[in-house]
Amino acid sequence: MKDSIIVIGSLDSEIEFSFSRSSGPGCQNVNKVNSRVELRFDVQNSNILTEAQREKIVKKLHSRINNEGVLHLSNQDERSQLKNKELVLKKFYKLINKALFEHKKRIKTKPSKESVEKRLKYKKENAEKKQRRKPSFD
């Protein structure tokens, strides 16, 4: 995102990782290596986020946050733990920035007089054209 509000890497000190065995690709490697990465971020007790940012994140990501206010994300798409860690971090920052992004309010506008007249003129011409197509019974 170009308009990212949280810089990638700024919340790394408050992120906790845990690793477990993946059910993803890797053949027999899956049974030996802990390649699944689970990211946990305590939104409620974050020192880096402001109160307004915390509220916005909790409101928009409520389905991913548990009762203690901890955001959970995991990834097991790749065979290596390092790639899964990179992917889950990208996913995390993308989610946080999307939650904090403010959409502009739409301002209602009225059509100009000229555009209204143009539309009515077109409608009138179209109606006359269709009227001329009708057979006349004289």
69: CB partners within 8 A, 6+ apart: 42, 43, 44, 45, 58
Residue 118 covered by a domain: no
pLDDT of residue 14: 80
The answer as to whether 60 is a domain residue is: yes
E-strand ranges in the chain read: 15-20, 36-42, 70-75
Specify the pLDDT at position 122. 97
pLDDT at 119: 97
Q: 47: domain range? A: 12-100
Prediction pTM value? 0.66
How many domains does the structure of the chain reveal?
1
Residue 61 lies in a domain: yes
Question: Does 109 map to a domain?
Answer: no
Segments in the chain below pLDDT 70: 1-4, 24-31, 138
Give the pLDDT confidence score for residue 124 in this predicted structure: 97
Is residue 18, in this structure, part of any structural domain at all? yes
pLDDT of residue 80: 82
pLDDT for 108 equals 92
| CATH number of the domain within which 36 lies | 3.30.160.20
Pair 37, 75: CB distance under 8 Å = yes
> Is position 92 within any domain?
yes
